[in-house]
């Protein structure tokens, strides 16, 4: 990124020729098709295809629940009801296909979401490009002292400079050596499937990723969360903005019940009821561990 003139021309060509279809069309999504949303320094997310819209969710629910759904007055109300009661199958009736370019260490987290279809660029068949993720200065954070998997303050001064210098020079040298090992100029040339092992985890890869809306929401709940690693969260945030335009009612319900919601344990519910009756509850009298009490306190404000 930015896109090469050839890539932009290809996208423009794909966007120039709408064709008639009898399928459901989601106007908000058509505006996104093929366009590259930049993420990090060289990454992107592009919508390649989609199936369904908000109405496809309620249509499937009405097959299932028949006359039973008449009591819910309208589509948005029904979608909110389905989300609230964890009815997952109607949301599975929508599907999205994305083209994503992302650093390998992000891809390794992402792929753990198993219920999706993936075609990744293969470094056995092909040669990877010289593109590495180098964090912006404000993303260069120290290890958190309170959270084993978190970040603390942003690095400053000479330390930040040293880190950036290391990341850049190691990536460059590794790639120079990758090319040198592959070269068939005056030598045999190492197999691509072996040479790639020299490349660091911040090199970019790309894939097509296809997933249904239910599983996408599950991905977004975990990866657009404040505890997710920043470098995958920016991808999730970008996808959230796309989904909001695609299925606005479902996304609204997702925001309310999942992203902005919280799960309380039976102990927490018990404390809550005591507090609502006017009791002053502390961690000691709550029956909760310190960690759980801290999280509970954040919920009740």
Give whichever of 1 and 11 is closer to a copy of itself, judged by the CB atom. 11
Tally the C-alpha atoms within 13 A of residue 277's C-alpha that lie toward its C-beta.
Answer: 8
Within 103-162, the residues that bind a copy of itself by CB under 8 A are: 103-105, 108, 111-112, 114-115, 117-122, 124-127, 133, 135, 140-144, 148-153, 155, 159, 162
Single residue of 1, 3, 55, 182 touching a copy of itself by CB under 8 A? 182
Q: Could you tell me if 169 and 132 are in contact, meaning their C-beta atoms sit under 8 angstroms apart?
A: no
User: Residue 255 has which token pair?
Assistant: 């925001």
| Residue 28 structure tokens | 């908000």
Q: Does residue 2 belong to the site contacting a copy of itself (CB under 8 A)?
A: no
| 9 lies in the site for a copy of itself, by CB under 8 A | no
Residue 124, Cβ neighbours under 10 Å: how many?
9
Task: Candidates 36, 60, 224, 234: give the one binding a copy of itself (CB under 8 A).
Answer: 60
Question: Which residues neighbour 136 within 8 Å (Cβ) at sequence distance 6 or greater?
Answer: 41
Element (H, E) at 100: strand 95-103
- Asked whether position 61 contacts a copy of itself by CB under 8 A, the answer is yes
Looking from the CA of 209 toward its CB, the CA atoms found within 13 Å total: 25
Given candidates 66, 136, 185, 280, which one binds a copy of itself under the rule CB under 8 A?
A: 66
Q: CA 73 → CA 66, 79, 81, distances in Å?
A: 14, 11, 11
Q: How far is the CB of 38 from a copy of itself (least distance, A)?
A: 19
Is there a catalytic annotation at residue 223?
yes
Residue 202 and residue 82 in contact, taking contact as beta carbons nearer than 8 Å: no
Rule CB under 8 A: say whether 268 interacts with a copy of itself.
Answer: yes
Q: Is residue 174 a contact point for a copy of itself (CB under 8 A)? A: yes
- Taking the complex as a whole, how short is the minimal distance between the CB of residue 244 and a copy of itself, in angstroms? 16
Cβ–Cβ contacts within 10 Å for residue 166, how many? Answer: 10
- x/- map, 245-264, a copy of itself, by CB under 8 A: ----------xxx-xxxxxx
Given 46, 80, 196, 223, the catalytic residue: 223
> Coil, strand or helix: which one is 39?
strand
> If binding is defined by CB under 8 A, does position 10 make contact with a copy of itself?
no
Any idea which residues carry the catalytic annotation? 223
């Amino acid at each position: 990124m930015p896109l090469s003139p050839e890539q932009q021309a290809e996208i423009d060509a794909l966007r120039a020729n709408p064709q008639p279809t009898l399928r459901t069309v989601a106007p908000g999504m058509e505006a996104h098709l093929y366009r590259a949303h930049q993420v990090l320094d060289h990454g992107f997310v592009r919508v390649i295809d989609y199936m369904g819209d908000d109405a496809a969710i309620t249509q499937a629910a009405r097959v299932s629940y028949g006359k039973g759904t008449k009591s819910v007055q309208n589509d948005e109300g029904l979608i909110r009801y389905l989300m609230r009661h964890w009815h997952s199958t109607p949301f599975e009736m929508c599907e999205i296909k994305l083209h994503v370019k992302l650093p390998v260490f992000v891809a390794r987290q992402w792929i753990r979401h198993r219920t999706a279809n993936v075609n990744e660029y293969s470094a056995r068949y092909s040669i990877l490009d010289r593109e590495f993720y180098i964090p912006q200065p404000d993303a260069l954070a120290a290890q958190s002292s309170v959270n084993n998997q978190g970040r603390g303050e942003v690095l400053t001064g000479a330390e930040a400079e040293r880190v950036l210098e290391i990341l850049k020079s190691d990536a460059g040298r590794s790639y120079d050596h990758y090319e040198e090992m592959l070269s068939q100029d005056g030598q045999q040339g190492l197999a691509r499937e072996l040479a790639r092992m020299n490349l660091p985890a911040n090199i970019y890869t790309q894939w097509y990723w296809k997933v249904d809306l239910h599983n996408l929401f599950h991905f977004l709940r975990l990866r657009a969360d404040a505890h997710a690693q920043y470098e995958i969260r920016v991808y999730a945030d970008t996808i959230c903005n796309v989904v909001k335009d695609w299925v606005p009612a479902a996304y609204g319900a997702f925001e309310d019940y999942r992203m902005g919601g919280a799960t309380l344990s039976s102990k927490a519910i018990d404390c809550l009821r005591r507090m609502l009756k006017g009791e002053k509850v502390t961690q000691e009298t709550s029956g909760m561990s310190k960690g759980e009490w801290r999280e509970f306190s954040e919920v009740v404000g």
